[in-house]
Amino acid sequence: MDVGLSFSGGKDSALAALVLDSFYDVTLVCGTFGITDDADHAAEAAAALGYPFERLELDEAVAHEAVERMVADGYPRNGIQRVHDHALERLAGQGFDAIADGTRRDDRVPTVSRAKAQSLEDRYGVDYLAPLSGFGRGAVDALVAEQLEVEVGPSEQLPKGDYEAELRALIREEYGDERVHEVFPDHDQTRVVGLRDGE
Amino acid sequence: MDVGLSFSGGKDSALAALVLDSFYDVTLVCGTFGITDDADHAAEAAAALGYPFERLELDEAVAHEAVERMVADGYPRNGIQRVHDHALERLAGQGFDAIADGTRRDDRVPTVSRAKAQSLEDRYGVDYLAPLSGFGRGAVDALVAEQLEVEVGPSEQLPKGDYEAELRALIREEYGDERVHEVFPDHDQTRVVGLRDGE
């Protein structure tokens, strides 16, 4: 069975790949609006992990809708959720037996409810998997420390292939640099650079 | 890191063991009230899977409380939930780095809410893992078919080491055979007899 896993190059989606690896042929899939080249960072991380990688074209109209919402809200949550929902719909249509993402039990956003999962499964004839949804923050941190080599840094200096990089760029372009910092307060990102020795 | 996984000998908890196997030293733990010897079935399944096995003594007062509730309700859900909560508390106190169970996304009972999971983790200093909670029924069935050799049969003829066998016996003893069939309508159980070839 094959699974297309929504992949940003970050530690959560990388760990999700390792969990699925015993049971599925994993392809890492990075959604991109084509606004920036940040999907390249996800491609590098996928190569370092040794998984096949695909880019998935997302609808730029959704990016515009999402940033409009984020700027109006003053925080990114609802916009990110909108983009994730769209990306899962696109991914579900790619012909994989199963699709997956790296959402964790303690994540506030994005979330995929049981009803939304069931709806995706019914409409596309795929299984939707959230392999980390039964793992809390402590367990995820412990497993990442054991399994993955990561780089940590501020999101501006450590771009990865998640939606944030492209949405930041779009906000900068349409609303100016000030608004980027309003919507996305400074926070550290993690990018995967490989598997730990012994893997 | 070691994990104590609540194990009945059924397919869900067996699949949960396989998911955790890449990351943890797995011990299968079967809670028992000492009412019947059905934990022996879980011990056999654990041996067939090749994992260490432990019995965990549960408080018989909880079994009495649970069957009283079940008989009053006319269905088993709340009683099973009470027993599972108790078993997880006991398991959390056994000194494992992490504890786990086989609850799936689509299960109605037992369930472990995010708040309950966090409370267990905080009070006992363990991680609580629900490795199948991000997998729906379709995915679990596909993975079980691929990974496990199972026997299927009516619950009366195919006892395993889950709470149901002991609770049925207790209801029979205290309320008579009629009530057993009222509370637990006939349904098929699955017992694991080994790993599929090629594992």
Can you give the CATH number for the domain in which A87 is found? Answer: 3.40.50.620
Does the distance separating the beta carbons of B22 and A21 come in below 8 Å? yes
Residue A175: is its pLDDT beyond 90?
Answer: yes
Contact predicate A120/A92, CB 8 Å: yes
Of A22, A131, A142, the CB nearest to B134: A131
Residue-by-residue DSSP string for B129-161: E-TTTT--HHHHHHHHHHHEEEEEEETTTS--S
Residue A37: is its pLDDT beyond 60?
Answer: yes
Of A129, A136, A147, the CB nearest to B127: A136
- Intervals of chain B under pLDDT 50: 199
Count: domains in chain B: 1
Query: Residues 24-53, chain A: which have Cβ within 8 Å of B?
Result: none
Within 8 A of B105 by CB-CB distance, chain A residues are 114, 117, 130, 133
Within 8 A of B135 by CB-CB distance, chain A residues are 127, 129, 131
Within 8 A of B106 by CB-CB distance, chain A residues are 114
Residue among A112, A128, A96, A110 nearest A27 (CA) = A96
Contact predicate A160/A9, CB 8 Å: yes
Instruction: State the residue range of the domain holding B53.
Output: 2-195
Of A132, A136, A143, the CB nearest to B121: A136
Query: What gap in Å lies between CA A157 and CA B50, rounded to an integer?
Result: 47
Residue A53: is its pLDDT beyond 90?
Answer: yes
pLDDT, greater one: A56 or B158 = A56
With cut-offs at 50, 70 and 90, classify the pLDDT of residue A123.
very high
pLDDT at residue number A199? 46
Mean pLDDT, chain A, as a whole number?
94
Residue A63: is its pLDDT beyond 70?
Answer: yes
Residue B135 contacts A where some CB pair is shorter than 8 Å? yes
- Give me the phi and psi of A36, to 5 degrees please: -130, 180
pLDDT at residue number B198? 55
Within 8 A of A20 by CB-CB distance, chain B residues are none
Query: What gap in Å lies between CA A26 and CA A104, rounded to an integer?
Result: 19
pLDDT at residue number A8? 93
